């Protein structure tokens, strides 16, 4: 018989899972871990979480790359020239100014010019945009990481509850099988003693076989649920750990204040769209600054070698240097800047409409999750009463059968009602926990900082 009055869940569940311990794994082999510890492990080891954390680092490095344009750019180069035929030049004949021009070939055959030059961007719309939008790109990466963590918390929790649901169903079916086995033995002895006929004995055997088949099916269903939980946690495959769950803690987690008001801003998806909109505003400003000029300062230092003989090229150097400033003012770009501004404004409107669509989606998720939570809570309360009544009925009918008052069919019916009510209660309990996870997620109550 079940030994649970208030809830049909044991205080602790133990599950052997094959797992490969990572170098930074703080779960020792064979340790018992709770749901919170499963979530904590998943937030550290799940590949999707690690990828999103790398996304933050990538965003910061990308900003550093873009902002490097504000710093001086120093380069070293060299230019080597060898003339097979020197250029031709024409000049006046000072002795005969009105005569024909003199033809000459000035210059040297070999020329090598090492050059060191530095440039400094004083103003550029591109680097200005990079500076003003850098924090938004980092925020976008962090929000993506938060979204991944929230999904991980919800996924691990529901996988944990699904596993416990199947395990508790196994516990109930084991007790049911043991109870039916005892009934079969009692019926057999009554049959041998001539108290009951063969039909009662066969009916008891059929009922026991059906219970064994259900137990076997539940056992087979556990293995894929192990895999689902490990996948959600990012847990490897060649060590063991155990999980446990406290009944009292579970009952506390069921409680939810249904009078809370839905706040769209609490949802990470809404926050991500808001960041996209801010980035789009910066994009519009960027295209507007495209009408402004670009100003760059440059310094060049050249160390020129010249000689007609290659072997004597480095005998004499002729250094020179200069400072330059370059101002580029875009006058006409084929209306590219104007069209870019208009396109960015349309894209901003798209994001605003996406926010409106998201609000409808969030509201549907919220109302659905709230309805499921209330329905499962009601079912749980009713199922609890059904379990108590079914146990009383089974005890009375079983005693009446032993006294020869009722037929064995009544025992089968009472047993069927008892196991059905017990399974229904367990399903309602874990469905309630699962629906609460959905409700917390829909409300935006799940924090990535867990």
Q: Using CA of residue 258, residue 353, residue 267, residue 375, what is the dihedral sign?
A: positive
Confirm whether 51 is domain-assigned: no
Question: Which regions of 293-415 does DSSP assign to beta strands (E)?
Answer: 294-307, 317-328
Residues 79 and 219 in one domain: no
For the ranges 9-13, 158-162, 272-276, 380-384, the lowest mean pLDDT is seen at 9-13
For the chain, give the percent of residues with pLDDT over 70: 89
Q: Among residues 278, 309, 328, which one ends one of the domains?
A: 328
Residue 165 scores a pLDDT above 80: yes
For the chain, the straight-line distance linking the first and the last C-alpha, in angstroms and rounded, comes to 39
pLDDT at position 117, please?
A: 93
336 plus 321 within the same structural domain: no
Last residue of a domain, one of 302, 328, 354: 328
Q: Are 92 and 277 in contact (CB under 8 A)?
A: no
Give pLDDT, residue 30. Answer: 62
Question: Sorting pLDDT into bands at 50, 70 and 90, what band is 305?
Answer: very high
pLDDT at res. 35: 87
Domain for residue 68, yes or no? no
Instruction: Supply the pLDDT for residue 268.
Output: 95
Higher per-residue confidence, 22 vs 433: 433
Residue 279, pLDDT > 90, answer: yes
Say if residue 201 is in the same domain as residue 344.
yes
Domain identity same for 288 and 298: no
pLDDT, one tens digit per residue, over 222-270 is 888 888 888 899 887 776 667 787 767 777 778 888 888 999 999 999 9
Residue-level pLDDT at 450:
60
Chain-centroid distance of CA 426 in Å reads 30
Q: Could you tell me if residue 83 is inside a domain?
A: yes
User: What average pLDDT score do residues 343-361 get?
Assistant: 95
What's the full length of the chain, in residues? 450
pLDDT average, residue stretch 404-413: 81
Instruction: For residues 358-368, give the mean pLDDT.
Output: 95
pTM of the model: 0.80
* 226 lies in some domain: yes
Q: State pLDDT tens for residues 59-100.
A: 999 999 999 999 999 999 999 999 988 888 888 888 888 888
Number of domains the chain contains: 2
- Shortest CA distance to 376 belongs to which of 261, 256, 267? 256
Q: Is residue 61 assigned to a domain?
A: no
Query: Do 339 and 270 share a domain, yes or no?
Result: yes
pLDDT confidence of residue 184: 79
Burial of 150-172, coded b for 16+ CB within 10 Å and e otherwise, reads bbbbbbbbbbbbbbbbbbbbbbb
Residue 301 CA to residue 121 CA, distance in Å, equals 18
Distance from C-alpha of 22 to C-alpha of 237, rounded to nearest angstrom: 10
- Per-residue confidence (pLDDT) for residue 137, from 0 to 100: 96
- pLDDT tens for 311-337 read 889 999 999 999 999 999 988 888 888
Binning pLDDT at 50, 70 and 90, where does residue 32 land? confident
Range of the domain at 179: 17-46+124-293+332-443
Residues 277 and 322 in one domain: no
57: in domain: no
- Same structural domain for residues 435 and 403? yes
Q: What is the CATH number of the domain that holds 272?
A: 1.20.1600.10
pLDDT at 2 exceeding the cut of 80 = no
> Is the domain of 153 the same as that of 289?
yes
> Is the per-residue pLDDT at 439 higher than 60?
yes
Q: What does the alpha-carbon distance between residue 423 and residue 215 come to, in Å, rounded to a whole number?
A: 12
Among 306, 328, 350, the domain boundary falls at 328
The string of pLDDT tens digits covering residues 14-23 is: 333 333 333 3
- Are residues 240 and 157 located together in one domain of the fold? yes
pLDDT score recorded for residue 21: 36
Shared domain for 274 and 369, answered yes or no, is yes
The backbone torsions φ and ψ at residue 112, rounded to the nearest 5 degrees and listed phi first, read -130, 125
Cα 56 from Cα 145, distance rounded (Å): 8
In angstroms, the CA 129 to CA 294 distance is 13
Query: Looking at residue 321, which CATH number applies to its domain?
Result: 2.20.200
Q: Strand, helix or coil at 80?
A: strand
**Residues 253 and 132 placed together within one structural domain of the fold:** yes
pLDDT band at 405 (very low <50, low <70, confident <90, very high): confident
Span 150-179, mean pLDDT? 88
Q: What is the structure's pLDDT at 17?
A: 33
The DSSP element (H or E) to which 239 belongs, if any, is strand 239-243
Query: Is 6 inside any structural domain?
Result: no
Alpha-carbon distance of 131 to 212, in angstroms, equals 68
Mean pLDDT over each residue of the chain, to the nearest integer: 85
- Rounded mean pLDDT of 289-296? 91
Residue 11 reports pLDDT greater than 90: no
- pLDDT higher than threshold 80 for residue 31: no
Q: Quick check: is 5 in a domain?
A: no
Q: What is the pLDDT of residue 443?
A: 93
State residue 286 phi and psi, 5-degree precision: -60, -45
pLDDT tens readout for residues 92-135: 888 888 888 888 888 899 999 999 999 999 999 999 999 999 99
Do residues 269 and 178 share a domain?
A: yes
């Amino acid at each position: 018989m079940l030994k649970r009055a208030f809830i049909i869940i044991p205080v602790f569940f133990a599950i052997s899972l094959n797992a490969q311990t990572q170098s930074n794994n703080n779960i020792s082999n064979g340790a018992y871990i709770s749901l919170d510890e499963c979530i904590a492990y998943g937030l550290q080891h799940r590949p999707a979480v690690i990828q999103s954390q790398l996304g933050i680092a990538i965003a910061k490095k990308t900003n550093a790359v873009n902002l490097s344009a504000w710093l001086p750019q120093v380069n070293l180069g060299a230019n080597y020239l060898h003339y097979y035929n020197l250029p031709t030049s024409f000049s006046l004949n000072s002795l005969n100014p009105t005569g024909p021009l003199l033809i000459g070939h000035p210059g040297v055959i070999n020329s090598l010019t090492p050059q060191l030059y530095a440039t400094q961007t004083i103003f550029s719309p591109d680097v200005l945009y990079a500076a003003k939008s850098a924090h938004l790109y980092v925020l976008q990466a962090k929000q993506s990481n938060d979204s991944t963590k929230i999904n991980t918390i919800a996924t691990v929790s529901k996988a944990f509850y699904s596993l416990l649901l199947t395990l508790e169903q196994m516990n109930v079916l084991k007790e049911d099988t043991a109870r039916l086995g005892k009934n079969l033995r009692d019926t057999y002895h009554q049959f041998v003693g001539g108290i009951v006929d063969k039909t009662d004995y066969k009916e008891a055997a059929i009922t026991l076989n059906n219970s064994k088949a259900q137990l076997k099916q539940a056992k087979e269903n556990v293995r894929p649920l192990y895999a689902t939980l490990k996948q959600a946690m990012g847990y490897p495959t060649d060590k063991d750990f155990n999980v446990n769950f406290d009944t009292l803690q579970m009952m506390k987690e069921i409680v939810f204040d249904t009078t809370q008001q839905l706040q769209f801003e609490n949802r990470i998806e809404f926050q991500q769209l808001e960041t996209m909109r801010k980035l789009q505003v910066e994009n519009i400003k960027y295209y507007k600054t495209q009408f402004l000029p670009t100003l760059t300062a440059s310094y060049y230092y050249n160390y020129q070698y010249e000689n007609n003989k290659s072997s004597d090229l480095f005998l004499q150097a002729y250094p020179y240097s200069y400072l330059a400033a370059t101002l580029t003012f875009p006058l006409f770009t084929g209306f590219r800047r104007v069209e870019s501004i208009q396109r960015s404004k349309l894209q901003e409107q798209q994001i605003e409409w996406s926010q409106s669509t998201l609000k409808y989606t969030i509201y549907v998720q919220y109302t659905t999750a709230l309805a499921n939570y209330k329905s499962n809570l009601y079912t749980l309360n009713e199922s609890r009463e059904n379990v108590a009544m079914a146990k009383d009925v089974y005890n009375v009918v079983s005693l009446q059968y032993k006294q020869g008052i009722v037929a064995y069919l009544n025992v089968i019916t009472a047993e069927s009602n008892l196991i059905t009510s017990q399974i229904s209660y367990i399903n309602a309990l874990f469905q309630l926990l699962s629906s609460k996870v959905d409700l917390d997620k829909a409300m935006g109550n799940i924090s990535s900082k867990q």
